[in-house]
Chains A and B, each alone.
Chain A
């Protein structure tokens, strides 16, 4: 009788676990195509905007004093007033993030989470590697200026991000997916804010 009750309890526990698993599956499936687009758009926009601003890659440059538009980045020209790049960064970030969002709706859930981890890890590792490279180059007694290159420091970042994308478990990636919506903009703002230190330390 006791044995029968034990078995019964174990079956009940297994049933509960199955129900919980099913509920979890339904939960993740509940994010609609628009939801996938919107979440990916938010994450991608924060990363791309930060990258375009830091590399100064505007789609166009606007010269407000003379009302002139130039394709890509143009330095200030004599007699034409200050150039504005912000519109150009936005004009590049919005469609690029929308494209990423659209691609995300085409991917399977598994690949979507792997790709998100890869991109977010790359966004975190790249500035970290660049900062470390710059620090080493400044401290080294030999010529290590190559470590100050954005592109060279991108290589270890790329390898690290690929490893993160490959080894991170899908359930964990699924759990933290929406958290990137806050982590990436806050991280981006920290980088952008730091880049403005020249104004605050004068």
Chain B
């Protein structure tokens, strides 16, 4: 780590990590949202012209991207979390932003639950042609989309308090 800190300052290093975490989160958010929309608005369903234009591609095609992005986003987030605990949360508590602290605590739980469901999610999407698992596949996708959206929104609020560009 010392070699890295000779090139960039400690502050810049953490900001780069946070920005990478943000970039991956945006990619994950896009993939899981498109997939959730695809499972909620199936291709066979009659839809208006506007809905037809917005309807994303086959839902199964997003599964690999979601699984491949979820894990490194989670791991990078877990790394950045060290800085949050010492550099962000303590001042947050000092100014009494308890809602933000509580929401961030819940974020760690919700993303962990998402990680736990990832192998099952991957398994059900590998069998995307099987109708028997269509319901669980759909709701797992919606659950994962919710976890990612929640984590993104709360992470964004914490970043606004003390992060990149704040």
Known: A181-B140, A185-B143. A30 touches B132 (CB 8 A): yes
Contact with A along B91-131 (1 / 0, CB 8 A): 00000101101110110111011011101101100010010
- Determine the main DSSP class of A at the interface with B: helix
Chain B proximity of A178: nearest CB distance (Å): 4
Q: C-beta contact mask, B68-84 vs A, less than 8 Å → 1, else 0?
A: 00000000001001100
Interface: A8 (CB within 8 A):
no
Q: With an 8 A cutoff between CB atoms, is A35 at the interface?
A: yes
**Number of contacting residues on B, CB 8 A?**
35
B11 to chain A, nearest CB (A): 16
Closest to B136 in A: A178
Among A120-128, A161-169, A189-197, the one that faces the other chain is: A189-197
Given A37-B119, A42-B116, CB of A87 within 8 Å of CB of B85: no
Say whether A181 contacts B113, CB under 8 Å: no
Cβ-defined contact, A86 with B86, below 8 A:
no
Complex CA gap A104/B13 in Å reads 43
Given contacts A39-B120, A45-B116, A82-B85, contact A87 B78 (CB under 8 A): yes
Query: Nearest 7 CB-CB pairs, A to B?
Result: A199-B102, A45-B116, A38-B119, A42-B120, A185-B113, A38-B123, A178-B136
- Sample of 18 further A-B pairs with CB below 8 A, known A35-B127, A189-B110: A38-B119, A38-B123, A39-B120, A41-B116, A42-B116, A46-B113, A49-B113, A49-B116, A82-B86, A84-B85, A89-B112, A93-B116, A182-B136, A185-B143, A186-B143, A188-B113, A192-B109, A193-B106
A residues apposed to B, CB below 8 Å: 27, 30, 34-35, 37-39, 41-42, 45-46, 49, 53, 62, 64-65, 81-82, 84, 86-87, 89-90, 93, 97, 178-179, 181-182, 185-186, 188-189, 192-193, 196, 198-200, 202
